Amino acid sequence: MAVIVHKDFQFIVQGITGREALNFTRECLEYGSKIIGGVTPGKGGREVYGVSVYDTVREITERERVDGTVITVPLAFAPDAAFEAIDAGIKEIVIITEGIPRKDASAVVEYAALRGARVIGPNCLGVITPDVCRFGSLGGPAVDCRKAFKPGVVGVMSRSGGMTTEICNALTLSGLGVSTAISIGGDPVIGSTYADLIPLFEADEDTRAVVVYSEPGGTAEAELARWTQENNSRLPIVAFVAGRFMDEMPGMSFGHAGTVVNKKVDSPADKMRRMREAGISVAEEIGDIPDLVRERIGN
Amino acid sequence: MKFYEFEAKQLLRKHGIPLVRGEVAETAKAAKKIAAEIDGPVILKAQVIAPGLTATSVREASDPAEAKAAAAELLEIDDGGRKPKGVLVEARPSGPTYSLSFTYDGTAKLPVIAGSDLAGKIDDIGDEHPNRIVRRHFSALFPFSDYIAKELVRSMGFGGGDLNRMTRIVSGLARLFLKYDLADLDITSLVKLDDGSFVLRDVEADLEIEARHRQRPMLDELGFAKDDLRQVREPTEFELEGARIDAEDPRGIISPIAEFDGNIGLVIGAGGGSLTLTDAVRKHGGRPANYAAIGGNPSVDKARRLTKLVLSKPGVDKVAVMSNVVSNTRADLVARGVIKAIVEMGYEPADKILIFRVPGAWEADAAKILKKYGIEYCDRTVSISEAARRAVEKAG
């Protein structure tokens, strides 16, 4: 089992000829992912590491099953690329592109919902089920990626791409390993929040606990706390809230676009309180996460 | 990016939203003149950005002379190292007061309007009187339709002519909210006047920072300078130099850079890693001298210049070089840059580096370089918490 991806998961890369896309396309192929095409308008007919490049998404979806797409096109073209993928019938859409205004992100996500598609991101690195499929750019070069992500029992959701790898690496070192990890994105409006995705982990028999990495800003943690209280989940959740120093610096923004404390609900202190009240274990230190997971799953 | 209230009001007024009478004054004398024109009690609001100034930045005055004196004091407020951008002098009509708020709901992933029959910030009202707030989501995908505003206004309890007047205001604001890429628009007081009309009294507006380029025409019209990011305080010389280093070399990112008042220099990355590392240093009793966020794959030179900047900061004796497990940042390039900076400054790298924990790409090469200078390379088996603990311990 796996979450979102599976062993026959086939995806495409929109913006495949970009610098970053070239890197992760190679890395994904080396990892064993099935990338069955790429799209860059005006570059149809080329090849990238053996992957054919097309001008439009439909040229691929008309001849093959496409389960997902990774979008890394430049900012100004990102919403259009997402609409194109949604209209071509693709159901799992990872948007890596950073800096998309929330109005555009909201429009894309609403359109996806109308067409039964799911958006991960924007401003994320995608999804990985270790040794099954890497869908996006998590973990860097395949050799490094394999070091950090070993199959196991913990699902991971993170607002930071880098910290997804950091936490998975710690879980791998501790022997717990990772069932599926999802970099959900650091923007104020993202397609899939913790609460949207946790039912998928709930249904995944490999997952025995979930680790959540969070940051200041937004209501996603409050929403997760509410979900946990309202649903009789079998899964223990361990959360870590970074950026606690920002509680003393109202209005300052560090890191991701979504990371700003303007309202009470934005503050790490408020997030930690809500999650604790909902029975989520909140790690005081990042290094405490594996032990807390073990404690919660009685292992 | 926060608008000054007078800017937000200028934008709304241009689009026919009814507002209280008033103008912005740059001098106390001008404030007196505006107060005389209003001919009645006025409110004076220093135009500031820094949070926490609400109480000190607003005064009431009953006549022009009082307004002049109040304005003179308000113009001296310290707005995070800046002077206020003038004083807004306005009439203060009274009557039944309401509030409206436009923002994005990250849970529904949609824009949302909230309304209340109480004045104030919706979030504050929500804390004490959650049942006095009504909400209505709308769409950023489809054009705004008036009935959405009408439904909200109806659920606020309005009927008759009030319902139609308020619907026009709410629709107008919703369209401007979308058109101008606002992230937040708060009408913290909206008053019904004796003649039955409504006017907006207090307005707060925030621009989506990512939309500042495409909103340039509107910002130019308001006189919003290109490099003005409306930070809560003026950037320091350290921060400006950090931004320059980042801008001058497109390879990799080292921003944001912020100055703190501690003694431990931080050469750290990336986005989430820097947040976590800064917390970890503090958790173990360390006092960070700065914030940095290395991302992408910075060149040796960029790492060198960042290290020099941090080590040159008064009160900083040593640096901790740390990051989360990296995918793209090459650990060896960071190592080269850091060592080069220290050697150029005439120090022994081993005396200046508290810890080097950058696991991931090219880590074997990084370890080799560091070993040559007698510095231990901490790999991925050393957790972020442990790395921070060691750094703080060594800093003493």
**Is the distance from CB of A68 to CB of A135 less than 8 angstroms?**
yes
Q: Which chain B residues touch A262 with a CB distance below 8 Å? A: 184
Residues B383 and B315 in one domain: yes
Point out the catalytic residue in the list A134, A159, A208, A256. A256
**pLDDT of residue B54 exceeding 90:** no
Nearest-CA distance B160 → chain A (Å): 33
Short-list A198, A193, A182, CA closest to A237? A198
Question: Predicted ipTM?
Answer: 0.95
Residues B316 and B175 in one domain: no
What would the DSSP string read from start to end of B350-371? HHHEEEEE--BTTHHHHHHHHH
Residues B127 and B251 in one domain: no
Asked which of B198, B222, B246 is the last residue of a domain, the reply is B222
Domain of residue B297, CATH code = 3.40.50.261
Question: How confident is the model at residue A250, as a pLDDT?
Answer: 79
Question: How confident is the model at residue B255, as a pLDDT?
Answer: 87
Other Cβ atoms closer than 10 A to B396: 8
Residues B291 and B244 in one domain: yes
Handedness of CA A221, A225, A230, A236 (dihedral sign): positive
Residues B75 and B175 in one domain: no
Residue of B208, B214, B275 with shortest CB distance to A243: B275
Q: Which chain B residues touch A140 with a CB distance below 8 Å? A: 326-328, 360-361
Length of chain A: 299
Query: Per the domain annotation, does A2 fall within a domain?
Result: no
| pLDDT band of B229, cuts 50, 70, 90 | confident
Contact between B325 and A165 using a beta-carbon 8 Å cutoff: yes
Residues B257 and B375 in one domain: yes
Q: What angle do CA A114, A106, A97 make, to 5 degrees?
A: 110
Domain of residue B213, CATH code = 3.30.470.20
Contact between B256 and A254 using a beta-carbon 8 Å cutoff: yes
**Is the distance from CB of B292 to CB of B337 less than 8 angstroms?**
no
**What SS3 state is found at B216?**
helix
How many structural domains comprise chain A? 1
Residues B321 and B360 in one domain: yes
Question: How confident is the model at residue A187, as a pLDDT?
Answer: 95
DSSP state of A284: S
Question: Rounded CA gap, B174 and B257, in Å?
Answer: 35
Query: Per the domain annotation, does A219 fall within a domain?
Result: yes
Query: Per the domain annotation, does B227 fall within a domain?
Result: no
Q: Tokens standing for B240?
A: 């400006």
Average pLDDT over all residues of chain B:
95
Residue of A101, A147, A148 with shortest CB distance to B210: A101
**B195: Cβ contacts below 8 Å, ≥ 6 apart:** none
Q: How far is CA B277 from CA A51, B266, B327, B369, in A?
A: 39, 9, 17, 24
Residue of B181, B282, B326 with shortest CB distance to A103: B181
Question: Rounded CA gap, A21 and B133, in Å?
Answer: 46
Q: What is the pLDDT of residues B12-43, one digit of tens each?
A: 999 999 999 999 999 999 999 999 999 999 99
First to last CA, chain A: 21
**pLDDT of residue B307 exceeding 70:** yes
Question: How confident is the model at residue A261, as a pLDDT?
Answer: 77
Domain of residue B74, CATH code = 3.30.1490.20
Residues B102 and B86 in one domain: no
Query: Per the domain annotation, does A170 fall within a domain?
Result: yes
Question: How confident is the model at residue A183, as a pLDDT?
Answer: 98
Mean pLDDT by 10 residues, chain A (299 residues): 94 96 96 98 97 98 98 96 98 96 98 98 97 96 95 98 96 98 97 98 97 95 96 95 89 76 85 96 96 92
Residues B167 and B313 in one domain: no
First to last CA, chain B: 39
Query: Per the domain annotation, does A239 fall within a domain?
Result: yes
**pLDDT of residue B386 exceeding 80:** yes
Question: Rounded CA gap, B97 and B125, in Å?
Answer: 13
Residues B70 and B51 in one domain: yes
Other Cβ atoms closer than 10 A to A80: 15
Query: Per the domain annotation, does B14 fall within a domain?
Result: no
Asked which of B70, B91, B112 is the last residue of a domain, the reply is B91
**What is the side-by-side strand order in the sheet with B58-61?**
B22-25, B87-91, B42-46, B58-61
Question: How confident is the model at residue A299, as a pLDDT?
Answer: 62
Asked which of B222, B245, B265 is the last residue of a domain, the reply is B222
Domain of residue A175, CATH code = 3.40.50.261
**B147: Cβ contacts below 8 Å, ≥ 6 apart:** none
B331: left (phi over 0), alpha (psi -120 to 50) or beta: alpha
How many structural domains comprise chain B? 3
pTM of the model: 0.96
Q: What is the pLDDT of residues B323-332, one digit of tens each?
A: 999 988 899 9
Q: How far is CA B247 from CA B100, B242, B255, B276, B292, in A?
A: 40, 9, 10, 25, 14
Q: What is the pLDDT of residues B182-226, one digit of tens each?
A: 999 999 999 999 999 999 999 999 999 999 999 999 999 999 998
Q: Which amino acid is at B248?
A: E
Q: What is the pLDDT of residues B279-293, one digit of tens each?
A: 999 999 999 999 999
Query: Per the domain annotation, does A137 fall within a domain?
Result: yes
Question: Rounded CA gap, B296 and B273, in Å?
Answer: 13
Q: List the domain range (segments joined by +) for residue A138.
A: 10-297
CB pairs under 8 A between A and B: 188
Residues B75 and B116 in one domain: no
**pLDDT of residue B360 exceeding 90:** no
The mean pLDDT value for B112-130 works out to 94
Residues B129 and B58 in one domain: no
Query: Per the domain annotation, does B10 fall within a domain?
Result: no
Q: Cα–chain-centroid distance for residue B371?
A: 42
Question: Rounded CA gap, B311 and B295, in Å?
Answer: 20
Q: List the domain range (segments joined by +) for residue B86.
A: 21-91
Q: Tokens standing for B150?
A: 């009408």
List the single residue in A with minimal CA-CA distance to B275: A243
Handedness of CA A237, A243, A249, A252 (dihedral sign): negative
User: Any catalytic annotation for residue A256?
Assistant: yes
